[in-house]
Structure 1
Amino acid sequence: MDEQLPLTGVKIIDLSTYAAVPAAARILADWGADVIKVESLKGDSWRQYGEIAQVPCTEEENPCWDVNNSNKRSISLNLRTEKGMEILHRLLADADVFMTNYRMAALHAMSLTWDVLHQTYPRLIWGHLSGYGNKGPEAERPGFDIAAFWARSGLMQDYGQPGNAPLTPFHAFGDMTTGSIMAGGLCAALYKQSRTGRGDKVEISLLGTASWLMGVPAVAAQKVYGNVYPRMRSEQPSPVCIPYECADGEWLELCIMDYERYYPSLCHILGLDGLIDDERFNTFGAVQGHSGEFVNLVQQAFLKRPRADWGPLLAAADIVYDNIGHFRDITENQQAWANGNLYERHFDNGRSAILPNTPVAFEEARKQASPAPLLGEHSREILREYGYTDEEIDEYIADGIVKVHTAT
């Protein structure tokens, strides 16, 4: 199967921690690349993230670790030693891509910057992810997604309701998004590499991704246009692109982009036929001046029936909508299962959980997710591939240069 995937034969060195770059590397691994995850002897801190997510994070069951690190191999090196760095450089000499989220000060100290590596390995692609970008007064600031992505971008504040506390997002949404875009950038560099034989520098930041994703609201919120956020639900630009509560307390989201085309159908469905010719509401320009009144009328109509009753009526009229779900609904979504977006992970302790696949599928095959590696699980295997003898490997282990996972 793997030989049918587009990145078969690509070698990637993933020197990263936490979520964003590991997510990018996971995507590339799913697309066929051989990803070697380089970890310290202590291991990536994300191995313990389950403590925050309140799910197991043991060697036998670590689902959060699997999400970002399946289909990789792990080598554990002490890069504070000369021999550890020598091993890393042997890996880099044979690699197509080096990707990292280490802060630039650390990369300078380790001589792993773009300038140094490009001079040594001209065809190597250097991919770097930071919190705030590598230029400007905040270049060296550490950044996690709920700070550099959510907080700084306005997402936390302006997607809520006025007067309420900012949203409290679950970790790693910004990381996963930024990593996904990074994977695309690295593929563009791989295409250039295939044409020219030269590597390229690929940089991305959490703030940069948030700025791009918030492009439309960022434009709308500029002072020149006079829009102020956050806004109440009844003050949104379109009263038919907001959530409505139904009789059973469940919510649905309307998403009508062509207002005047679907307005009569919506009124008919809701039993509001008397509003079809109402000049306060029957054009988009008019309803924006009477949004609060219209939202109240529509909300009262939706409260007359449970959500399950509204879906078939809206669908029959070709009105775009969806049920507003919960995190728990994702793993039970039959449409997601039908498209291979989910899979069941069976753990060594006999338990199982539903995990997401990376979202892109190709015509020939979808790589099946392998368990994410244990710390140093492939150290010996990888070192052998790069010409190290068992005697050398044993010596490195004894000297604290390499860590090898041993079964318990």
Structure 2
Amino acid sequence: MSTPQALQGVKVIEMGQLIAGPFAAKTLGDFGADVIKIEPPGSGDPLRNWRMVQNGTSVWWQVQSRNKRSIALNLRSADGQDIARKLIAEADVLVENFRPGTLEAWGLGWDALHALNPGLVMLRISGYGQTGPYRDRPGFGVVGEAMGGLRHLTGEPGRVPVRVGVSIGDTLAALHGCIGVLAALHHRKANGGLGQVVDVALHEAVFNVMESLIPEYSAFGAVREPAGSALPGITPSNAYNCTDGCVLVAGNGDSIFKRLMLAIDRPDLAHAPDLAVNAGRNQRAAELDAAIGSWTARHTVEEVITTLLAADVPVGRVYTAKDIAEDPHYRARDMLLQQTTRDGDTLEVPGIVPKLSATPGAIRSAAPHLGGDTDAVLRGMGLSDAQIATLRAQGVVA
């Protein structure tokens, strides 16, 4: 008997493309939801061709669209919109990341869909949200990262801010969207089966993880500035050069700091009364970083890690893709899984997060070809082969 999944029986319709909406739907699909992805005929989701391509398809696509079925449907046509309505009428969740007003122009706005399916939970991810003076502006994750306050803090002081090396604004929005969907599904059970809108703005998802940024400004007028690899106000926590690379050391706990200083042969700092708490260490942050950096600079990465782990100090190397692929801990926790694509290629892909003990997630199916499930989905709606052929000839489906 197969292991049950947490979202088994939940039907999700995914509209939109690229990262935020599709990442949210992928996450729901990993835990058992039946995800039907609507793509435009001909081109499909642009992510199919982003970054590195194998046999005509992006390997990123293979991760982002696993556990989904694809129907190629022209949403700009009246017949295509009618098919979408019928799909949504039977769905639990609709995920979309169009610019606000797009679905309304197609007759697929919240009011119309809620009347059609009162239990529908509608996740709407956009640059600036469904309301407010900026709602109609185009918005991508990078702009959300900037407006949310993150981009100002990334990089070295006095230099142009740099981006985090992944589309963090989009994925943060997607994860917040998943939280909203799960909360709305839970609420639906005790609310007469009524659904609701989950409105996620890219910049708000970023802003929500900005910790004490605003309270510090509110209380002290303090504007946090970029600090490179350090975390100002939490000392010591930084990256340090070794003879063959660099390590991250987090020695900011009071007892951890003492063990760290003893491990690097600085008992004077370990026992200094003013350094016993974080407030005192903040006053001498540059001195502490210099002391740690002087010690790490005389050792290899492996020597530093071995010494500090023996002292029970949090430390780690800066991992590359190769480091991750070769790490036994990743494999022990099933965070590197093998997936066979629809074209027969075998890829290693990221595993599923979080780990659920009773209803774990799983990769049930590989990412679909464009429109590869169109006929099956339409037949499931009761359409005959002749009707499907007519829709295909008219360019409504593909």
| TM norm structure 1 | 0.90
Q: How does 1:327-366 map to 2 (within 5 A)?
A: 327-347=321-341, 351-362=345-356, 363-366=358-361
Residue 92 of structure 1 corresponds to 88
**Distance in 2 between residues matched to 1:209 and 1:364, nearest whole Å:** 27
Contact residue 234 and residue 291 of structure 1 kept, 8 A: no
How many Å apart are 1:308 and its aligned residue?
A: 0.6
Q: How does 1:34-183 map to 2 (within 5 A)?
A: 34-41=34-41, 42-50=43-51, 55-56=52-53, 58-59=55-56, 61-148=57-144, 150-183=145-178
Q: 1:17 to 1:345 in 2, by over 3 A?
A: same
Q: 1:91 to 1:293 in 2, by over 3 A?
A: same
> Relative to structure 2, which stretch is displaced further, 272-281 or 23-32?
272-281
**Distance in 2 between residues matched to 1:93 and 1:235, nearest whole Å:** 49
Residue 296 of structure 2 corresponds to 302
How many Å apart are 1:221 and its aligned residue?
A: 4.5
Q: 1:206 to 1:47 in 2, by over 3 A?
A: same
SS state of the match for residue 212, structure 2?
helix
Q: How does 1:315-334 map to 2 (within 5 A)?
A: 315-334=309-328
How many Å apart are 1:58 and its aligned residue?
A: 4.4
Cα offsets for 1:234-272 (capped at 9, x unmatched): 793233111111222x2111223422x233322221012
Equivalenced residues, count: 395
> Relative to structure 2, which stretch is displaced further, 118-127 or 358-367?
358-367
SS state of the match for residue 215, structure 1?
coil
Contact residue 160 and residue 166 of structure 1 kept, 8 A: yes
Residue from 367, 374, 383 that aligns with 1:379: 374
How many Å apart are 1:20 and its aligned residue?
A: 0.8
SS state of the match for residue 38, structure 1?
strand
How many Å apart are 1:392 and its aligned residue?
A: 0.5
| TM norm structure 2 | 0.92
Residue 298 of structure 1 aligns with an amino acid whose one-letter code is: I
How many Å apart are 1:230 and its aligned residue?
A: 1.9
**Distance in 1 between residues matched to 2:323 and 2:46, nearest whole Å:** 28
**Distance in 1 between residues matched to 2:230 and 2:177, nearest whole Å:** 37
Q: 1:321 to 1:225 in 2, by over 3 A?
A: farther
Residue 206 of structure 1 corresponds to 202
Contact residue 336 and residue 342 of structure 1 kept, 8 A: yes
Contact residue 345 and residue 355 of structure 1 kept, 8 A: yes
Residue 6 of structure 2 aligns with an amino acid whose one-letter code is: P
Structure 1 stretches lacking a partner, 5+ long = 404-408
Residue 47 of structure 1 aligns with an amino acid whose one-letter code is: R
Contact residue 104 and residue 113 of structure 1 kept, 8 A: no
Q: How does 1:236-275 map to 2 (within 5 A)?
A: 236-248=232-244, 250-259=245-254, 261-275=255-269
Percent sequence identity over aligned pairs: 28
**Distance in 2 between residues matched to 1:341 and 1:267, nearest whole Å:** 34
**Distance in 1 between residues matched to 2:4 and 2:97, nearest whole Å:** 30
Residue 174 of structure 1 aligns with an amino acid whose one-letter code is: G
Residue 406 of structure 1 corresponds to none
Contact residue 13 and residue 93 of structure 2 kept, 8 A: yes
Q: 1:254 to 1:225 in 2, by over 3 A?
A: farther
Contact residue 173 and residue 202 of structure 2 kept, 8 A: yes
How many Å apart are 1:136 and its aligned residue?
A: 1.5
**Distance in 2 between residues matched to 1:39 and 1:235, nearest whole Å:** 42
**Distance in 1 between residues matched to 2:303 and 2:340, nearest whole Å:** 38
SS state of the match for residue 305, structure 2?
helix
The answer to whether 1:5 aligns with 2:10 is no
Please, what is the CA RMSD of the aligned residues? Answer: 2.2
Residue 78 of structure 2 aligns with an amino acid whose one-letter code is: E
**Distance in 1 between residues matched to 2:171 and 2:378, nearest whole Å:** 30
Contact residue 221 and residue 229 of structure 1 kept, 8 A: no
Q: How does 1:382-401 map to 2 (within 5 A)?
A: 382-401=377-396
SS state of the match for residue 12, structure 2?
strand
Q: 1:127 to 1:232 in 2, by over 3 A?
A: closer
Contact residue 158 and residue 231 of structure 1 kept, 8 A: yes
Residue 126 of structure 2 aligns with an amino acid whose one-letter code is: S
SS state of the match for residue 84, structure 2?
helix
The answer to whether 1:290 aligns with 2:281 is no
> Relative to structure 2, which stretch is displaced further, 129-138 or 279-288?
279-288
How many Å apart are 1:3 and its aligned residue?
A: 6.5
How many Å apart are 1:318 and its aligned residue?
A: 1.8
SS state of the match for residue 99, structure 1?
strand
**Distance in 1 between residues matched to 2:240 and 2:325, nearest whole Å:** 24
Contact residue 2 and residue 32 of structure 1 kept, 8 A: no
**Distance in 2 between residues matched to 1:262 and 1:45, nearest whole Å:** 48
**Distance in 1 between residues matched to 2:342 and 2:198, nearest whole Å:** 38
**Distance in 1 between residues matched to 2:305 and 2:273, nearest whole Å:** 28
